[in-house]
């Protein structure tokens, strides 16, 4: 008995399938991607790339700025391939390669963004405690060292991303061969569930840090004029961007839990509002309230060396 399933998925009646070797019998997205969203994404991420390049030049906060620039570069590549999935003559929405490549880069991009957020937390701890000594360990959530925080969460993100990319690739292969995509979707779901859990743990540590540092945040105004406000806005940017990334990850989990052709995954409006928009806003937030303005070469605090 053949294990091939009948064609079950979205086919755009206005766009004939070219039936090339790289084309699936259906549009795996569940809809035909619009040119406008991809074009807007390319323009905004290019602008944010320039913004973070400028911040790198002015603050010399190398690790953070390079991570955010890598984020925008991955997004640009991802949306360029998504643009190639738009209706003809611009693209071919049935093309499996375009689907897998855009998924790979759009999924991988937040890994660099998250790493930037993790380094931002460690920079703030170091800045408030005058370096990563005994005082920093008292201020750090659960007394975790800088390297421990970075190692735990960056490793978790890498594992989760590998699982998601493997699942998406298997879905694309299964749809091309008219096989059930359930195995690939289950792998994708497991990767996303793990990522949601690990980032929730990070948010818990972040709010423990905010509790531990509350008195310092309130008293820092006794120093240099405006330094306290800058530090609080810097922290606000960190919390806001973290919540935006978490919202995006929760959406991806809910979308995948519905299945390959579920309601959320088959409506581009959800993708635009809960994947594209949160990442743009998170990167823009960290561009405006850039940690380098506080701890960089020309920042308000002197502990900028911890990220350089």
- Which segments within 190-274 are labelled E, that is strand? none
pLDDT (0 to 100) of residue 187: 93
pLDDT (0 to 100) of residue 231: 73
pLDDT (0 to 100) of residue 146: 83
| Helix, strand, or coil (residue 113) | helix
Residues 6+ apart with CB under 8 A from 204: 141
Tokens in use for 294?
Answer: 């506080």
In angstroms, rounded to a whole number, what is the distance separating the alpha carbons of residues 264 and 268?
8
pLDDT (0 to 100) of residue 308: 36
Number of helical H runs and strand E runs in the chain? 11, 0
Tell me which H or E stretch contains 228.
helix 227-257
Low-confidence stretches of the chain (pLDDT < 70) are: 1-7, 129-138, 215-230, 296-308
In angstroms, rounded to a whole number, what is the distance separating the alpha carbons of residues 195 and 182?
20
In angstroms, rounded to a whole number, what is the distance separating the alpha carbons of residues 226 and 195?
37
Q: pTM, whole model, 2 decimals? A: 0.88
């Amino acid at each position: 008995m053949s294990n091939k399933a009948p064609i079950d998925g979205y086919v755009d009646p206005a766009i004939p399938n070219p039936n090339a070797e790289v084309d699936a019998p259906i549009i795996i997205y569940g809809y035909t991607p619009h040119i406008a969203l991809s074009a807007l994404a390319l323009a905004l991420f290019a602008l944010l790339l320039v913004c973070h390049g400028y911040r790198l030049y002015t603050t010399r906060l190398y690790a953070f700025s390079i991570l955010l620039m890598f984020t925008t570069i991955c997004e640009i590549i991802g949306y360029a391939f998504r643009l190639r999935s738009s209706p003809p003559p611009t693209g071919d929405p049935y093309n499996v390669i375009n689907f897998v490549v855009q998924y790979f880069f759009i999924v991988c991009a937040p890994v660099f963004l998250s790493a930037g957020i993790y380094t931002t937390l460690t920079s703030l701890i170091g800045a408030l405690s005058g370096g990563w000594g005994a005082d920093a360990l008292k201020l750090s959530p659960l007394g975790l060292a800088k390297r421990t925080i970075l190692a735990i969460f960056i490793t978790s993100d890498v594992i989760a991303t590998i699982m998601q990319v493997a699942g998406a690739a298997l879905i694309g292969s299964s749809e091309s061969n008219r096989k059930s995509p359930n195995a690939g979707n289950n792998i994708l779901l497991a990767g996303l569930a793990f990522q949601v859990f690990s980032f929730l743990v990070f948010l818990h540590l972040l709010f423990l840090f905010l509790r531990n540092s509350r008195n310092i945040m309130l008293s820092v105004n006794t120093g240099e004029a405006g330094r306290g406000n800058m530090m609080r806005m810097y922290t606000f940017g960190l919390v806001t961007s973290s919540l935006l990334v978490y919202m995006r990850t929760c959406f991806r989990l809910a979308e995948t839990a519905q299945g390959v052709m579920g309601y959320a995954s088959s409506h581009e409006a959800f993708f635009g509002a809960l994947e594209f928009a949160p990442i743009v806003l998170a990167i823009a937030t960290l561009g405006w309230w850039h940690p380098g303005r506080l701890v960089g070469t020309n920042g308000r605090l002197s502990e900028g060396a911890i990220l350089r």
